[in-house]
Structure 1
């Protein structure tokens, strides 16, 4: 019973994370999380997703299209079967890290532009300038580390 409760909380936490991270609808986040936790490389059928998540076919279809278009999920057909199967893209870790790196790069660019803007203002901004420099340096290091990790993941295939 305790294990089941922990698994439900874990599932809900991951769903909330996907909603925030990717701006996914609750159902899309649930499908993505369900596929991640299933770890079934053989894939999960559309009908099984509809049944397990108790959602309408049109809503599931829309959510799966979003996940496929964002390259988080892939679909395939088995030989001699009409059913489509879905699974998490094997490169999902690289995709996740690329998303985070892109966000950090945008943040770094905006912080740098803010720093330049503040430099043209009064001397009162010196403490802010120093903090902004520390922040930009951190963003540069984090972006560099993410790039290294992404390359390691790509080379591990």
Structure 2
């Protein structure tokens, strides 16, 4: 597979496709598009027509999957001033988006567990200690992710 001067490694491509399909719960064509765009190291982007050609898929299927990737902020449009065609590239903030969602889920879990723990009001010290350890695990992971994102995106 090579189009628009993008060379890929088939094994890495397949691994990326499986990984992103699983982690983002993407249908097969969306996972293929996303994995393929990861090889666009210069961020030149691929047009809709490029993607139809590369994947030998129908225009409606490619369109539907591009829209899904756009909706989930995994890719973005890159329009050139001298061209009317849209080029699709990986969203440079996808790591930030992904890990912010993970942080939000962990914060939500802490909130729910705090309320459940308070409601239960157990005298069992072993149970209370396990709750505290688990809560601390979530809290430290949230802090670690937030600190790493700040460093990664130069937000310090």
Global fold match (TM > 0.5): yes
One of 37, 60, 72 as aligned partner of 2:74:
72
**How far apart, CA to CA, are the structure 1 residues paired with 2:145 and 2:113?**
19
> Closer, same or farther in 2 for the Cα pair 1:138/1:25, shift >3 Å?
same
Counterpart of 2:135 in structure 1 is 136
TM-score by length of 1: 0.79
Counterpart of 2:97 in structure 1 is 95
Counterpart of 1:55 in structure 2 is 57
RMSD (Å), alpha carbons: 2.2
**Displacement after TM superposition at 1:88 (Å):** 0.6
Structure 1 unaligned blocks of 5 or more: 1-6
Residues 97-128 of structure 1: per-residue CA shift (max 9 Å, x gap): 212212222222233233223325xx5x5433
Bigger helix fraction: 1
Residues 11-54 of structure 1: per-residue CA shift (max 9 Å, x gap): 33332332333222222122111111332311112112122222
Q: Moved runs in structure 1, 4+ residues, more than 4 A?
A: none
Task: Tell me, yes or no, if the aligned pair for 1:46 and 1:85 is still in contact at 8 Å.
Answer: yes
Structure 2 unaligned blocks of 5 or more: 1-8
Please give the residue correspondences for 1:76-155 in structure 2 after superposition, counting only pairs within 5 Å.
76-120=78-122, 123=123, 126-155=125-154
Task: Tell me, yes or no, if the aligned pair for 1:108 and 1:139 is still in contact at 8 Å.
Answer: yes
Aligned length: 147
Task: Tell me, yes or no, if the aligned pair for 1:40 and 1:87 is still in contact at 8 Å.
Answer: no
TM-score by length of 2: 0.79
